[in-house]
Amino acid sequence: MIKMLPVSMLDWLVFSIVLLLVLLVLLSLLRKLWRGKPKQPYQQKLLFSPEGATALRLLDHAIGKQLRIFAAVNISELITLNPKLKKSQREQAWHAIYGETLDFVLCSPKDLKPRAAVVLADDSLSKTDGKKQQQLLQQIQDAGLPVIQLSPKAWPDARALQDDIIAACKPAAAPQRLTSGQGRVEPVLNLPDEEQTDEPDNEPRIKL
């Protein structure tokens, strides 16, 4: 007499598990066949947006070699929290700058000391976010780093921007409020005059 297949619950459980594993292996192989060769996980992108590239060229033309330009600098690399703040205030202040960047930072070529920041106006921000951004930029300026705001809708010419940068880096008697607009900034940082480099060039000299 032909023996019957195992019918105990344990045998059926083992048989079901083995069958399930076989099906999973087959499904995995079929997926690999359908997908073909693995694709490159990364793609190169542009370092600057069109507006950022235009601003960089404008800054290069305005200041030449007189100041060094650094792009996309983390705010936390430029300012630190006031140690006199309470814990809750420190957390709030840190949250405001965490992950935030400035479009461009202008530094002295000798000691790389930050002299001014340049920020591109972002019209995509909501009214609330725009207000928060202006408040943060004002706090950055109050901390001693002048902020120049540029609007991609109304670029200043190189000469006007150069004048704004010179004004931003000049000592001021008292800090004034930040105003949004085309390349306008009120200087607040007291900086000593620096000696000009002896390297000859044909670009206009900026006397800071």
Q: Is the pLDDT at 40 greater than 50, yes or no?
A: yes
Higher pLDDT, 205 or 109: 109
Long-range CB pairs of 194-201 (<8 Å, 24+ gap) are: 194/108, 194/110, 197/65, 197/109, 197/110, 199/65, 201/64, 201/65
192: exposed, middle or buried (Cβ count in 10 Å: 0-12, 13-18, 19+): exposed
Higher pLDDT, 18 or 7: 18
Higher pLDDT, 80 or 172: 80
Q: Is the pLDDT at 5 greater than 60, yes or no?
A: no
Q: pLDDT at position 70, please?
A: 96
112: left (phi over 0), alpha (psi -120 to 50) or beta: left
pLDDT tens, 147-183?
Answer: 999 999 999 999 999 999 999 988 654 445 554 444 4
Of all residues in the chain, the percent with pLDDT exceeding 70 is 76
Higher pLDDT, 38 or 32: 32
Q: pLDDT at position 205, please?
A: 54
Of the candidates 166, 81, 156, the one whose C-alpha atom is nearest the C-alpha of residue 115 is: 166
- 6 pLDDT band, cuts 50/70/90, is low
The helix or strand, by DSSP H or E, that contains position 68, with its residue range, turns out to be: strand 68-74
- 27 pLDDT band, cuts 50/70/90, is confident
What six digits make up the tokens of 15? Answer: 């048989």
- 187 pLDDT band, cuts 50/70/90, is very low
pLDDT tens, 85-114?
Answer: 999 999 999 999 999 999 999 999 999 999
Q: pLDDT at position 87, please?
A: 93
Q: pLDDT at position 206, please?
A: 55
Q: Model-level pTM?
A: 0.66
**Where are the chain's structural domains?**
50-169
Q: pLDDT at position 135, please?
A: 94
| Strand positions, DSSP E, 79-200 | 101-107, 114-120, 147-150
HSE, CB side, 13 Å, CA atoms: give it for residue 52. 12
Sheet holding 68-74, edge to edge: 68-74, 101-107, 114-120, 147-150
